A = this chain, B = another copy of it.
Amino acid sequence: MGTLTAPAPWKQLLLGAMESNSHLRHSSYIQLATIGCNGRPSNRTVVFRGFQEDSDKIQIHTDRRSRKIEELKNCPFAEICWYFTDSWEQFRISGTVDMVDGSNPDPVKLEQREKSWFSTSLRSRLQYLGPHPGLPNLSEETPAQVFLDPSAGPAAAFCVLFLDPQQVDFLNLKSNQRVTFSSTQSPNGDKCWTSERVNP
């Protein structure tokens, strides 16, 4: 351990799995579990949108009006389950989630949100202009055509989640090996990771 933050030791394993499964469209689909407002588990598929620059924080895009936002406000803890169907590797990544929508007071975070918005396809962006997710669908017709200016900034409903990993459980079903990675915060705020081989 020096004054430089060492890269998280599980990140290299995860990048390797992403690389070896990259021919599969669904290899960036992950399951995000949260605590529901009724105290029960809540679980859904979301898309991995890359790491936050120079960090091991995981980015996810979501609609500010979706139920997970309310849930994460009540309890900021989440666990991602990421199973790679070709290499038979599983990563369970647990940590806390920071939510960044247009009301965020931090100009750096607002800039990251804008960058995320422009990194997505026009089709993805259109979703955030649609009706409130989860509310009753009353119309029988197809929704009216919505025009989206490609140069327009983030829609009000566009929200970026940053999951800051605190613990990672890695399982390789081909080699039948399992490793847990745990982090502790050093006095200067850097994360320090330790790992242990455990029985699968």
Contacts and interface: CB of A to CB of B under 8 A. Distances in A.
A198 B77 contact: no
B79 A45 contact: no
Given A41-B33, A44-B92, A198 B83 contact: no
A40 B95 CA distance: 9
A115 interface: no
B45 A43 contact: no
Interface of A: 24-26, 29, 31-36, 39-45, 75, 77-81, 83, 85, 90, 92, 94, 130-137, 178, 180, 196-200
Nearest to A127: B200
B41 A35 contact: yes
Contacts of A31: 31, 33, 43, 81, 83
Contacts of A42: 33, 41, 79, 94
Contacts of A133: 198-200
Nearest to A135: B199
A85 B26 contact: yes
Contact of A136 (B75, B131, B197): B197
Contacts of A199: 130-137
Contacts of A25: 85
